[in-house]
Structure 1
Amino acid sequence: MEQETVFIRNQGGVTVLSDLLQSLDQCEGFCFTVAFMTFGGVQLLVQKLSELEQRGIYGRVLTSTYQQFSEPKAIEKLQSFKNIEVRLYDQVIEGGLHAKGYLFMKGELVEVYIGSSNLTTSALKENIEWNVKLTKSKSDVMVEDVLSDYELLWEAAGSLTKEKLEKYKASYQRFKAFERESLLEVEDALLLPSEVRPNLMQQAAMKRLNSLRQRGEKKALVIAATGTGKTYMSAFDVSQVKPRKLLFVVHREEILRSAKVTFEKVMGDCNISMGLYTGNVKEIEADYLFATVQTMSRYYEQYPRDYFDYVIIDEAHHVGGQSYQKLLDYFTPKFLLGMTATPERCDDFNIFDCFDGHVALEVRLREALEENLIVPFHYFGIRDIEGVNLSDVKLDQIHEITKRLKVNERVNFILEQMQLFGYDGEYRKAIGFCVSVEHAEYMTQKFNEAGVVSACLTGNHSPEERQVIIQRLEDDQDPLEVIFTVDIFNEGVDIPSINLVLMLRPTQSPIIFIQQLGRGLRKQENKEFLTVLDFIGNHHKSFLTAIALNGDRFYDKDSLKVAVSTGFPDIPGDSFIILDSISKEQILTQLESENFNSMAYLRETYQEFKRMNRGQTPYMLSDYLKYEGAPDPVSFIKKEKTYLNFVAKVEQDSFLLSLLGADEFVKVVREWSGQLPLRRPYEFILLNYLMRHPEVMHLDLEMAIKEVLKYVDAVCEESVLHALQCLGQVYYDTGEVSQYLKLFECLGQTIVVLPVFNQLRHAPHFKPYLEDVLMYGLVRYQEEFGTNDYGLPFFKLYESYTMKEVAKLANYDKKHSAFRGSGLLTYQNDFFLFVDLHKEEDIKESINYQDQFISADKFQWQSPNATTQDSERGQKIIHNKEKGINLHLFVRKFKKIDGEVQPYIYIGRGNTIHAEGNKPITIQMELEHKIPAALYREFNYKV
């Protein structure tokens, strides 16, 4: 059946790759012609090409030698398929080949796909590409012309002999060598030390650090993955502060020398002396001193307390150690900066508290990919062999899982898949993550027997033994290809050359998954991407992989289902996630049946996090901020009103149970916990200030504004006054007044501390838990909202809000619990439109065709049933712009998911462009902000 012409580009979650994979899946034969191809581009098709090989579907691929761009490795990979013939068009023959076309045969029909896309990773996802796809009969004149032209080119290229390919490979290698030499010459000429420039991540950190200092703060923490440029960032910040004396403290001497070189590059010739302070070298007269903690902790008293203006603690996750605490207790710098890639390694020590809760920057995996700070990855989810059955085992039954994974057939399958997917670069540098030491030793033995040189590293090996093996893997002349390990490489290990990660164990935790993935993402010269092969078994928690890949701690089930169904198109940059059809279906089925709000699920999630926390009970909410991929503790709060209640119930902890017997403490913790996650930080900022300054007995508007400005770029006086009134329970209803404890008396523009709050903040057994709620709220707020002033009402586009939160953020001056209803709520010149796109969780039965997105920038909304066009309210809605009325649109897909009421997503303001009907009025509005493709897809996608 002939189809309409379709315009295909990398937009709206539909990529050139996703469309090509769909066409390959449905075809009976195919012909490609591309000017360029790379191994990365071809690798993304191999899973589908392998399926076509098994089905006997024949294909032809024509590429060119133009500018020696096509990678020989890509050509060889395609040649490895028995069902594919590749030919190489030499431009010397007759003109250069620039055509890009993909032809798919379907009986008497041909799907013709012609445009700008070559077979490269960027073209398949990121580049601005224009392609036109149409399906026509073979007898169609245009199709006949295309097929005829293809045959002429195919014949002109001739068979790709071994000699012809070897000749091209030699030419390609010569060209690449010349390219590298030219690039080095340019870099030598241009990249002078004085011209080193901060990237966007570093600029954001510098801005935040400068703002904190201007507001009188003296400490801050930066959290960013290995390889994202934390040391450069610190050097750039020092160059803007220009301290007289600097101390840079690290744990290992090799990092110290590298840091000193970085500072010299950034600072250039600025008449500042830099020196080392180690066991062997003591250049104590230097202005900027780079010291190991071991040496400095022995001789620190030789310096006055205020000697250093700026102190930097690298690898700040070690600050809980005695050596670091000596230095932090002694020195009184004007500013203290901590930097870490792994805050989770702090054991019982609260790293956030050590730096007064000020996180100047947090760069997690998704942000690092967006900013191109790490290499992209190609993730392939591969269904494990049928002979391995994990459906009836729990993920903590390590011995049993090990026994079931030690199967020769599985080893052969893993080797086959490694051969199929390949890797970027000339040499394979792989890490295989196993379920146990026994499993790692087994895999090492079997790989060596198969001729793949491998080594095993576990916690049983000394640091020196580990370093020897790591150096062997890094050495291109060493035959070692694979290191099998358990958990020792999850974090804190830097092996830049890794180009292949093997996930050989069931995903037990999103935290572990992200840590293991991160081992291969460090940038290195000539390294374009990381290949990840994940062997997904049939265990009942396969969906944890989807949670990890979705890259968001705060998710709901529906958004996960959409991400899995559409191939995670929102993963940034040139990263790709491809699940085979069986794994995808299994994960979707599990997501559908799992209730994320059930006590059983929450208990299991908590216990897994506890195992990640070295088996120690995570008493604090801030523990969850340390780990990327950690569960959202707010889900525990929603279940039991407070996090402490949840932990006490799960652990039957006698200390917590006694603590929770204090009624006044419980009421306060419950009230504060109920405000998480924060949508406006002002109240928590002021509470945090009062908790940390127990001598302060009242807080006026001027002081409150000053404190708030330590966290945000700007704030209006009206909003801070409203926050003070909220703290004084001015807008509480009678139920809330009886449920919670009054801590402050609001007197005009001042709040006065009441005795009960004063007692609680002085109580050593209560204070840590109260401060923890505030700390968690503020640090998480910084993660999600940054320091921006979102105006009034204080709404961030595409964030989620409840009706009660909307009232607070609009500075609503009546009881906030009264701000509820359906459809439309108003306050002054702001009209708030609340829309449920689907009335029930069953999307097929519940679509609301009256309230719907017409396009990404237009929305149709139906007013409350009693509204007429000639009423005052109707006129304000219809002529909102002329009458100065702001129409704020809030949308949610479902009212409830797994029985839990869902918040609304703020879509922004809209303006009426058409109205018809009465009681209700059907309004069409143009949105002031075009909704992002990912969110538009999620609202409209039917799983």
Structure 2
Amino acid sequence: MVNFVENLKESLYKGFIDQSHNKADTFKPKLLVNNLTENENVLTSLLEELSDCQDFFFSVAFITESGLATLKSHLWDLKIKGIKGRILTSTFLQFNQPKVFRELQKITNVEVRLTDLKGFHSKGYIFHHHSHYSLIVGSSNLTAHALKVNYEWNVKFTSHENGEIIHHFIQQFEDVWDGSQLLTTEWIDQYEQSYVEREYLPDLEKVIEIPSEYHVNTLKEAVEVSPNKMQQAALHSIQLVRDTEHNKGLVISATGTGKTYLSAFDVRRFSPKRMLFIVHREQILQKAKSDFQRILGGISNDFGILSGTSKQSDVRYLFATIQTISKENVLHQFDPTEFDYVLIDEVHRAGAESYLRVINYFQPRFLLGMTATPERTDNFNIFELFDYNIAYEIRLQEALEEDMLCPFHYFGVTDFEYNGELIDDTVTLSKLVTEERVNHIIEKVHYYGHSGDTVRGLMFCSGKDEAKELSSALNHKGFRTVALTGDDSQVERIRQVNRLENGQLDYIITVDIFNEGIDIPSVNQVVMLRQTQSSIIFIQQLGRGLRKHDSKEFVTIIDFIGNYRNNYLIPIALSGDKSQNKDNVRRNMKDTSYIKGVSTINFEEVAAKQVFKAINNSKLTSLKVLREAYLELKNRIGRIPYLGDFVIHNSIDPVVIVEEHTNYYRFLLKMKETIPVLNDYEQQVLIFLSLEVLNGKRYHEILLLDLLFQQGRVSHTDYLRELEAVECSIDEDTLFSVQRIFNLEFFTQITTKKYGEIPIVTSEEDMYRFNNSILRSLTSNEYFNFLVNDLLQTAKEKAGIYNPKEPLTLYQKYSRKDACKLLNWHNDESSTMYGYKPKHGTCPIFITYHKDEKIDSSVKYGDEFLNPKLIRYFTKSNRTLQSEEVKKIIYADERNFDIHIFVKKDDNEGGDFYYLGKAHPNEGTAEQTVMLDKNEKEIPVVTLELVLENSIETKLFYYITKE
């Protein structure tokens, strides 16, 4: 309690008196805004407070389904923990729709009351913690736009439970609460009857939710269709392909982003004498023809369909199925130059013989291919088919940011436990369709709900039998479902899709046949009941609900997460991060700000643990995984990819490759590529550059090597001038450290041997130069020269995330060896560093926060964060207050020792630690205590508090501290 009060006082001093005050700031007042460029939003702070509270109460005038959806999984976790809350709202202006009140009733650990207080317009969120309250008060209602997108001002502040200000808020809340009416089913029924759709008034929900986009079209006239922002950029890029005299182009565009309209706009610009549009399913043809007619205009007789049921062929704009036009007798009805513009939809299928037959037959002036997923599991190279001319590419994250897709709320939910164990990879059909699991599925789809009046859902299963049995089980419980599999005809599929869209079905339950090529814009719920086997399929299935439709504001994605080995693919698929870097994958689980707009990604706590478990257990850098990523990139660019290509194309992290194979040359040999030969020493130099320079953690080495590569030799003066130009430090210790890296004196004997045993860079008469062997190789071996340059340019790109002004960058990850190097130690002492080591005026402290249960009790220290700025730290065992190394920590400030804190969540994170910045001993907190060794014998240890100069960013704090 004393610590909290002191921390609060210091935080308030910083917040209200002196912003430069740096003793404590955990509880300082904070302005919360939605800043899209900084990936900040009000919702993040609200969820952080929710996750750590004892109870909560909200007073909000306006609530939308989408706003409530952002909290649902978190409220579910609180329910499991027995934590309850209260929400006070109203019917002011009749903004809150009846359905949102029914959604509120589903959240059984939250009591809801309604006030008829005239002009009720409050927006406050209050959280009760162990010893204090947190408040978020300002302009944000409980709507998705207010919490994530709109320009809002909210203040978050903290009060002791005895503080006057919090009692004012609580009293205000209780006064209105006591005079309010409990939300009941009967009340909702009455409200529903009196609720008036405001067709004659401005749409209040749009005015409040999305004021920047709201306008009233009083004339109700037809609006001419014009290209959106993405389509304008794509049209420009397609024209550039033609202007450079290429006759083929590939457009990669996420499902639902308007590829058909885009192609129609381009056809209008191209103005062909005749056009051929090829699709793989007849049900798409009519819609495509209709869209083209709307954009191109002209008489109906100019447009025709060639398919199994329609034989129109003598038209200007022909829309054909591949099944029909690829038939020899049909294909040869046309002259090869008949169509001067040919489009192929879902062109990733073009590896099939039928497509190749058509593509090889026709000779158009321009061929355009369109797909959402060009990557192929059969290794057919779509990119080669289009001469590697990617005219335009927009993926899921960019499309969401441009508001081209329907927003989604993804919920990773916990799958059913069978005999106390989560369903796993080996589960049998009988376990998948038990009464209990079916009830579990119903509970989750009901709780997480859907936008709109009635559910129109797709459920994806792992097998045909499961789909059929689940459909039967759900139908017995009153749902209207049908199972569709690859055994069903196209006619039957179309019939059932129409039934779903017309409200005659609640769900279509299927396996993989609806992954692509199906357009059901009204789908408002997608349920995934199978393990994720592929990032591509995951996005295809999620994408079934992303088309915009008047009947929905968002789509709900419910992913049932069991004990599956491939769960690590979920954050990879959602983020689009292909780096195969485990740290990136973990970060994308704890920080989902890469999803733009009002869309959110949410995991129930148990489900999140299953994903983290899969990440820990996975081998993301297996040769199989690396080979697949390599071949995918090679197909895309049409040649052997090099390190820089992986960065440019957002593919696998080059550092991941070299850490597995020591250098990229050796990796290419593993890929069975025929490449020029390097001698042993050239390979050793590449190993040095790959393992010591490529990661970009210190720019000094990269800069000097790049100067030497370009100029041959560099003076000490010129080197310093170049360092200053990029704001790198030029102190003697750092420059001496760089020298020891290049002459290999920093490294252990084993590492020095691996790097060739002779200095990489020599320094004589104030001049730097490569050693003679490297100089000869750079001159005589063109391939070695190329590989070195590729590595240096890639290192420059990697260095972009690090602060050149400081040796270490906050929240980046470093190994013990990195710390030795970047803190300018003379030697790599990482093998003997263990928890900490004071040396050279610095003391790096390495903390593994969650200790393995199996480790020896004598090293199982109880280090813990008391708050985001304060650590209770334990020294090594068998240390006392008189131990010299302990004194160096206790009196670090007096002795000018810089304490640097490095923390990792647990040993599953490998050998790298998050850097949390410098810390200072909290005066008077050091005390000697005891801990037990493996024989239950008491041994001395010293504990003290360390105050961080920078409070840990909240997302990282919760990630590290939570079990």
Contact 2:451 2:524 in 1 (8 A): yes
- Equivalent residues of 2:813, 2:912 under 8 A apart: no
Between the aligned partners of 2:958 and 2:791, the Cα distance in structure 1 is 21
Q: Relative to 1, partners in 2 of residues 1:436 and 1:631: Cα closer, same or farther, differing over 3 Å?
A: farther
- Counterpart for residue 364 of structure 1: 395
Quote the residue 1:310 is aligned against.
341
CA gap 1:463/1:389 in 2 versus in 1, 3 angstroms = farther
CA contact (8 A) 1:893 1:939 kept: no
Structure 2: distance between partners of 1:456 and 1:608: 35
Residue 382 of structure 1 aligns to a residue in which SS? strand
Of 497, 500, 509 in structure 1, the residue corresponding to residue 522 of structure 2 is 497
1:327 deviation in Å? Answer: 4.1
SS of equivalent to 2:217: helix
Tell me, in whole angstroms, the C-alpha distance in 1 between the residues paired with 2:376 and 2:615.
31
Q: Residue 37 of structure 1: CA displacement?
A: 0.2
Partner of 1:4: 28
The counterpart of 1:529, out of the listed 554, 557, 561, is 554
Structure 2 residue matching 1:189: 3-state secondary structure? coil
How far 1:230 moved relative to its partner?
0.9
Deviations 1:609-632 (A, max 9, x none): 99x9xxxxxx9989x99xx99978
| Pick aligned residue for 1:88 from 114, 130, 134 | 114
Say yes or no: does 1:21 pair with 2:47: yes
Counterpart position of 2:412: 381
Distance 1:496-1:741 versus aligned 2 partners, 3 A rule: same
Q: CA deviation at 1:942?
A: 6.6
**Closer, same or farther in 2 for the Cα pair 1:211/1:54, shift >3 Å?**
closer
Match of 2:942 in 1: none
In the superposition, relative to structure 1, how do residues 262 and 402 fare at CA in structure 2: closer, same or farther (>3 Å)?
Answer: same
Instruction: Report the equivalent of 2:500.
Output: 473
Which residue of the partner structure matches residue 244 of structure 2? 215
Q: Distance between the aligned counterparts of 1:743 and 1:135, measured in 2?
A: 59
Shift of 1:358: 0.6
Tell me the residue number matched to 1:41. 67
Flag the 1:470–1:294 CA change in 2: closer, same or farther, 3 A: closer
Match of 1:409 in 2: 436
2:593 to 554, 569, 575: 569
> 1:582 maps to what in 2?
606
Could you say which residue in structure 2 is the equivalent of 1:114? 137
Partner residue of 1:453 out of 465, 468, 480 = 480
Q: Report the CA distance shift for 1:735/1:22 in structure 2 as closer, same or farther (over 3 A).
A: same
- The verdict on how the C-alpha distance between 1:740 and 1:123 changes in structure 2, with shifts beyond 3 A counting, is same
Q: Is the 8 A contact 1:521 1:530 kept in 2?
A: yes
CA distance in 1, matches of 2:149, 2:90: 22
The aligned residue for residue 429 of structure 1 is 456
Shift, 1:158, TM fit: 3.6
Alignment CA distance shift 1:244-1:743 (3 Å)? farther
In 1: Cα distance, 2:415 partner to 2:595 partner: 24
Native 8 Å contact 1:389 1:538 kept in 2: no
SS in 2 for 1:175: coil
d(CA) in 1 for partners of 2:594, 2:412: 17
Question: Is the 8 Å Cα contact of residues 8 and 16 (structure 1) preserved in structure 2?
Answer: yes
Per-residue Cα deviation, 1:831-866 (whole angstroms, up to 9, x for no partner): 999977668336998896899xxxxxxxxxxxxx9x
Match of 2:624 in 1: 603
User: For residues 621 and 848 of structure 1, do their structure 2 counterparts lie closer, same or farther at Cα, with a shift above 3 Å needed?
Assistant: closer
Contact map agreement 1:65 1:168 (CA 8 A) in 2: no
Structure 1 residue 206 displacement after superposition: 0.7
Q: Residue 147 and residue 122 in structure 1: after superposition, are their counterparts in 2 closer, same or farther (change >3 A)? A: same
Q: 1:248 to 1:144 in 2, by over 3 A?
A: same
Contact 1:473 1:481 in 2 (8 A): yes
Task: Output the amino acid matched with 2:472.
Answer: Q
What is the 5 A alignment of 1:544-943?
544-566=569-591, 568-592=592-616, 594=618, 596-597=620-621, 601-603=622-624, 734-735=776-777, 802-805=791-794, 840-841=814-815
SS at match of 1:226: coil
Amino acid in the other structure paired with 1:490 = N
Aligned Cα root-mean-square deviation (Å): 5.2
Structure 2: distance between partners of 1:642 and 1:840? 20
The AA in structure 2 aligned to 1:341 is A
1:665 deviation in Å?
10
Whether the 8 Å CA contact 1:509–1:608 is kept in 2: the answer is: no
Aligned CA distance change for structure 1 residues 273 and 390 (closer, same or farther; 3 Å): same
Distance 2:513 2:463 in 1: 11
Q: Is the 8 A contact 2:532 2:569 kept in 1?
A: yes
Equivalent of 1:147 in 164, 170, 188: 170
**TM-score, normalised to structure 1's length?**
0.64
1:72 aligns with 2:95: no
Unaligned runs of 5+ in 1: 613-618, 651-655, 680-730, 745-776, 778-793, 795-800, 811-819, 825-830, 852-864, 866-891, 903-933
The offset of 1:428, in angstroms, is 1.8
1:339 corresponds to which of 359, 367, 370: 370
Deviates more, 1:321-330 or 1:259-268: 321-330
The 3 A distance-change label for structure 1 pair 647 and 148 is same
Q: CA separation in 2, counterparts of 1:299 and 1:576?
A: 49
Q: 1:198 aligns with which of 223, 227, 232?
A: 227
When residues 454 and 550 of structure 1 are mapped into structure 2, their CA distance, relative to the original with a 3 A threshold, is: same
Deviations 1:199-227 (A, max 9, x none): 12211211111111111111101122332
CA offsets, 1:144-176, max 9 Å, x none?
A: 332333234334544446554334323445336
CA distance in 1 between partners of 2:956 and 2:76 (Å): 31
Once residues 52 and 441 of structure 1 are traced to their aligned partners in structure 2, the CA distance between those partners, rounded to angstroms, is 35
Q: Deviations over 1:410-446 (max 9, x none)?
A: 3322222222222222112222222223333332333
- Counterpart of 1:750 in structure 2 is none
Of the structure 1 ranges 97-106 and 586-595, higher mean CA displacement relative to structure 2 is found in: 586-595
Offset from partner CA, 1:377-420 (integer Å, 9 cap, x none): 21122233443677997x5x5xx454554544333222222222
Deviation track 1:426-471 (CA, whole Å, cap 9, x = no partner) reads 1122222222233333323332333333322222333333333333
Distance 1:264 1:319 in 2: 26
Tell me, in whole angstroms, the C-alpha distance in 1 between the residues paired with 2:524 and 2:607: 24
Instruction: For 2:431 and 2:397, locate their aligned partners in 1 and report how far apart those are by CA, in whole Å.
Output: 34
Render the CA deviation track for 1:511-554: whole Å, top value 9, x for unaligned: 33222212222222121212122222233443222222222223
Name 2:734's counterpart in structure 1: none
AA paired with 1:518? G
- 8 Å CA contact 1:510, 1:630 repeated in 2: no
Matching of residue 231 in structure 1 with residue 260 in structure 2 = yes
Q: TM-score, normalised by structure 2?
A: 0.63
Q: Give how far 1:6 is off.
A: 2.5
| CA distance in 2: counterparts of 1:898 and 1:147, whole angstroms | 43
Unpaired stretches in structure 2, ≥5 consecutive residues: 9-26, 207-213, 633-637, 695-772, 826-839, 841-901, 914-951
Alignment check: 8 A CA contact 2:135 2:157 kept: yes
Q: 1:30 aligns with which of 53, 56, 77?
A: 56
Deviations 1:774-821 (A, max 9, x none): xxx9xxxxxxxxxxxxxxxx9xxxxxx9534468x99xxxxxxxxx9x
Aligned equivalent of 1:708: none
Q: Secondary structure at the match of 2:539?
A: helix
Q: Residues 323, 509 of structure 1: CA spacing in aligned structure 2 closer, same or farther, 3 A cutoff?
A: closer
Q: Which amino acid aligns with 2:463?
A: S
- Name the counterpart of 1:769: none
Q: Which residue of 1 aligns with 2:465?
A: 438
- Cα deviation for residue 177 of structure 1 reads 9.0
1:104 aligns with 2:127: yes
Amino acid corresponding to residue 520 of structure 2 in structure 1: I
Could you tell me which amino acid in structure 2 is paired with residue 428 of structure 1? V
The size of the alignment, in residue pairs, is 711
> 1:61 deviation in Å?
1.6
Kept in 1, the 8 Å contact 2:462–2:529? The answer is yes
CA distance in 1 between partners of 2:506 and 2:144 (Å)? 25
1:113–1:134 CA contact under 8 A, matched in 2: yes
Structure 2: which amino acid aligns with 1:126?
Answer: V
| Contact 1:565/1:584 (8 A) holds in 2 | no
3-state DSSP class of the match of 1:85? Answer: strand
AA aligned to 1:803 is L
User: Matches of 2:268 and 2:401 in 1, distance apart?
Assistant: 26
